[in-house]
Chains A and B, each alone.
Chain A
Amino acid sequence: MTTSAMLILDILMVLSLLSLAAAALATSDARRSVILFMAFGLVLALAWARLQAPDVALAEAAIGAGLSGALLLAAVGDQPRRALTGDTKPVHHHDHSNLKLMLEWTVTLLCIAVAGALAWALAQAFERAPQATLAQAVSENLATSGVSNPVTAVLLNFRAYDTLLELAVLLTAVLGIFALGPARPGYRTAGPVFGGLVRWLVPVLILAAAYLLWVGAHAPGGAFQAGATLAAAGVVLRLAGQRTVGLPQGPTLHLVIAAGVGTFLLVGLSLLVLGRPFLGYPPAWAGGLILLIETAAMLAIAATLVLAFLGGRPQPPRVNVTGGKPPAASISTLRPRSREGLSGADVPGAESHKHFSEENRQC
């Protein structure tokens, strides 16, 4: 009874995934596509839960069903019917419809071939005995890793190199986003209903992030999930019209962004000096060191994701006074800015005063 119910559940889940993926990709309306992709992410989170991957389900619930949807929705609202959503440089040869059809068929056949090859690889993987995989090694060494959640042990201890490099990838992405120009102008200040939502949602998200970070040592959770949840708090603040979204300004911000890689390297190098292998924690210290690295990584990941949502370098509060900006920023600051940007630009206290009065109006 239970097994057949689960089988039907699996089939329905798989069908939803396939049809949502197809529907999200088939439509040419950008907003519709994004919403369908968010629904896909939500069902994917359920699939991870079903396949007993709660760590992945947590990350997917925070990122797939929430953050990446917010990111894409902001991009759709950003440039209505332009490069992103209207046509840019044509990819198809519009006037050669035969050629286009041939291209489409070739690519479709290629994709079918790819799916076939992947299925073959999958069959190979399934045939291998479970003992031959790394799972055995992980469970044998879990006791010395400093944590009892095997996924955290793999990420922060056994394969710490990979996580260090991943944080470097995130850092590179932030630098790329910074290099591309200033952040989007931001959002209108929240009305009473949204303001009420923000007032409880942001503290709860921060608490949830702290909880996930702490619980990650012995249960599903950890720096990635906590970082994504913390970033969601920043995104909500941004959507409510806050400009700084709780991020620190200037050099402190740079420090936070680099905190993940920095702490990781610092720990690794200190261990080298002490005569241990790079990132080879002594078992007695492993738990503490992992928590230290994870805290720094959480802050860096959260800052990265919030900056990703801003879509560029955050605007300093005083735009006109500071000179010597990199070219990209100076071009954009020459453009006429919105009224809010101007009013906040000259008077240092104007920004906070404005928020204050707006807060009062909400009550």
Chain B
Amino acid sequence: MLTAHWLYGITGCLVVALGLRTALLHALLLHRLIGINVMGAGVFLMLIAVAYRGPGVAPDPVPHALVLTGIVVAVSATALALALARRLTAEQDDE
């Protein structure tokens, strides 16, 4: 019985729920953004947990590649969102 992948996988599910709740409910843009990032991290946890094959066995490389791509895309999407938020503030200040 491999417990590690269940442990991390279920944690992933819970982290997704936590992030999703903040992304939907929080009033502040930055917190929503962090919520979305946390949600992404939860998905990554699930994927890596699925790839895990137990100690001493080579894990599945395909989810690893997916997560690697996901991390880089997430950070650039966050940067774009932050730039948008900054522009939004500047526009509101001008009014």
Q: Classify A-B as touching or not with yes or no (CB < 8 A).
A: yes
A residues in contact (CB < 8 Å) with B: 6-7, 10-11, 14, 17-18, 21-22, 24-25, 28, 30, 33-34, 37, 40-41, 44, 47-48, 50-53, 55-56, 59-60, 63-64, 67-68, 71-72, 75-76, 78-79, 82-88, 90-92, 103-104, 107-108, 110-112, 114-116, 118-119, 122, 125-126, 130, 133-135, 138-139, 150-151, 153-155, 159, 162-163, 166, 169-170, 173-174, 176-177, 180-181, 184, 222, 224, 227-228, 301, 304-305, 308-309, 311-312
Q: Report 18 cross-chain contacts, Cβ distance below 8 Å, ordered by A residue.
A: A21-B41, A28-B28, A30-B28, A33-B30, A40-B41, A55-B64, A63-B72, A68-B37, A68-B78, A75-B85, A110-B20, A115-B16, A122-B9, A134-B62, A166-B73, A224-B68, A308-B83, A312-B83
**Smallest Cβ distance from A32 to chain B, in angstroms?**
11
Supposing A21-B19, A111-B20, A151-B65 touch, asked if A135 and B60 sit within 8 A by C-beta, the answer is: yes
CB contact between A130 and one of B60, B61, B76, B80 (< 8 Å): that residue: B60
A226 to chain B, nearest CB (A): 12
**In the A-B complex, the 6 residue pairs with the closest CB atoms:** A308-B79, A150-B61, A115-B17, A83-B89, A135-B60, A154-B65
In the complex, what residue of chain B is closest to A119 when comparing beta carbons? B13
Partner of B17, one of A72, A75, A111: A111
B41:A56 contact, CB within 8 angstroms: no
Rounded to whole angstroms, the CA-CA distance of A118 and B71 in the bound complex is: 20
Interface size class of B (residues with CB under 8 A): 35 or more
Task: For the complex, give the distance between the alpha carbons of A79 and B93 in Å.
Answer: 11
Knowing A10-B3, A47-B45 touch, does A56 contact B68 (C-beta < 8 A)? yes
Nearest chain B residue, comparing its CB with the CB of A44 = B41
Q: Which residue of the partner chain, among A34, A111, A114, A153, contacts B61 with CB atoms under 8 Å?
A: A153
Interchain nearest-CB distance for B82 vs A (Å)? 5
Q: Say whether, besides A67-B75, A114-B17, A169-B76, A133 and B62 are in contact (CB < 8 Å).
A: yes
Task: Give chain B residues whose Cβ lies under 8 Å from the Cβ of A50.
Answer: 4
Q: Are A75 and B61 in contact (CB under 8 A)?
A: no
* Cα(A6)–Cα(B60), bound, Å: 21
